[in-house]
């Protein structure tokens, strides 16, 4: 089950467009988060190929340093088990009933979001002669998956009455607006979750492990830490939004690089790329870079993006193609083979994930997770 890029070496044999992942920074970011939330547990979120950083290598580097791992789909959990990861793994997405035995056989924790699904998990565990470990999902205002907070008792009661093959290890919810400067809705969700948790006190029952804090809540809502927090994009050195309080200092883990593959002089009045949406009114030097929307360099960034070559920032011009972009260096200097920084630092210049998100009119999450798997990942320490 190969779902991410393997480690490669920069020996000249790889594609000139690649993403570099700094494992030292990744570890430093984790330490900063651990220091902030101590003594609470940490679930490291690895969904979507570890936010584009490479599931295999991120997991192998950090799994032993956290209490839990979180993924979105069954296949991600199975892959982690296949590469030898022993850390508990919660699959947070919806569960298909016919897949339930695979969760149990691979020692994966299931998300139980309804009475019907809980009963199906119980029956599958009984038929396998095993216990299934689950976390109950409570919808406190996201309207995605999870039992509504005002109906949560039906699910909680079901765990007591008729599910002897299920171990309810945890209970959790998810914020919809914890990355906002206005935390009114987030605080309402927090209040609703606390109301749901009172069920255990009323019935003199031990409370399952509670978790709700995503990256933004880790930064802004310490009262949501409960027993465990779930940092995602923050782990990779990117803040969830510009509005978030930056109460933890993290540094970007991923940089994206390429090389100049072609150089030409373009006359005035000669349009560049598809659609002829850009042309110069004077003689310019234009270089071609082997990266495009087929790699996750968004077409919507056409005529907006910048890159760094030889320590100078230059504008991308014309339409972004599937496999190539063109850059106007005016009358600057560039040679075939010169390094091009798409995300990262070079000299005194810097281009961030947030910059690309602004040019593409999207969010940093989408930039990172859309860097295609045909872009090799290079891991450095």
CB atoms within 10 A of CB 182: 9
Helical (H) or strand (E) element with 100: helix 100-105
Residues 6+ apart with CB under 8 A from 56: 4, 6, 7, 79, 83
Q: Are 43 and 70 in contact (CB under 8 A)?
A: yes
Active site members: 47, 274
Residues 335 and 251 sit within 8 Å (Cβ to Cβ): no
Distance CA 163, CA 166 (A): 6
Q: What are the two backbone dihedrals, phi and then psi, of residue 111, each rounded to the nearest 5 degrees?
A: -95, 120
Distance CA 16, CA 240 (A): 30
User: 363 with 350: CB under 8 angstroms?
Assistant: no
Picking from 180, 205, 102, 195, the residue whose alpha carbon sits closest to that of residue 148 is 195
* Whether the Cβ atoms of residue 21 and residue 380 lie closer than 8 Å to each other: yes
CA distance 182 to 2: 41
Q: Are 360 and 298 in contact (CB under 8 A)?
A: yes
Helix (H) / strand (E) element for 309: namely: strand 306-309
Closest CA to 26 of 272, 302, 235: 235
Those residues with Cβ within 8 angstroms of residue 263's Cβ, 6 or more apart along the chain or in another chain = 285, 286, 287, 288, 334, 335, 336
């Amino acid at each position: 089950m190969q779902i991410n890029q393997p480690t490669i070496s920069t020996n000249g044999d790889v594609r000139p467009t690649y993403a570099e992942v700094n494992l030292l920074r990744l570890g430093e970011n984790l330490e900063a988060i651990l220091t902030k939330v101590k003594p609470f547990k940490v679930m490291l979120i690895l969904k979507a190929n570890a936010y584009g950083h490479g599931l295999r290598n991120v997991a192998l580097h950090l799994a032993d340093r956290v209490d839990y791992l979180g993924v979105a789909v069954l296949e991600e959990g199975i892959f982690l088990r296949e590469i030898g990861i022993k850390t508990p793994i919660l699959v947070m997405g919806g569960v298909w009933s016919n897949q339930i035995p695979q969760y149990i056989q691979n020692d994966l924790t299931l998300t139980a979001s309804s009475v019907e699904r809980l009963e199906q998990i119980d029956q599958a565990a009984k038929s396998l002669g095993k216990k299934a470990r689950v976390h109950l999902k409570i919808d406190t205002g996201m309207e995605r998956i999870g039992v509504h907070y005002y109906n949560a008792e039906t699910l909680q009661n079901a765990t007591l009455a008729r599910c002897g093959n299920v171990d309810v290890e945890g209970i959790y919810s998810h914020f919809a607006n914890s990355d906002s400067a206005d935390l009114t809705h987030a605080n309402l969700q927090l209040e609703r979750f606390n109301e749901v948790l009172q069920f255990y006190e009323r019935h003199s029952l031990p409370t399952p492990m509670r978790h709700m804090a995503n990256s933004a809540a880790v930064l802004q809502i310490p009262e949501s830490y409960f027993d465990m927090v779930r940092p995602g994009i923050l782990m990779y050195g990117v803040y969830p939004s510009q509005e978030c309080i930056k109460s933890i200092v993290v540094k970007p883990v991923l940089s994206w690089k390429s090389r100049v593959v072609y150089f030409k002089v373009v006359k005035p009045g000669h349009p560049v790329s598809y659609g002829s949406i850009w042309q110069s009114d004077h003689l310019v030097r234009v270089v071609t870079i082997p990266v495009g929307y087929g790699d996750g360099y968004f077409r919507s960034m056409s005529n907006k993006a910048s890159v760094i070559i030889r320590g100078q920032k230059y504008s991308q011009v014309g339409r972004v193609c599937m496999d190539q972009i063109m850059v106007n260096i005016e009358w600057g200097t560039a040679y075939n083979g010169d390094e091009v920084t798409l995300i990262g630092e070079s000299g005194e210049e810097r281009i961030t994930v947030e910059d690309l998100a602004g040019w593409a009119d999207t969010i940093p999450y989408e930039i990172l997770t859309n860097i295609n798997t045909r872009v090799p990942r290079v891991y450095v320490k």
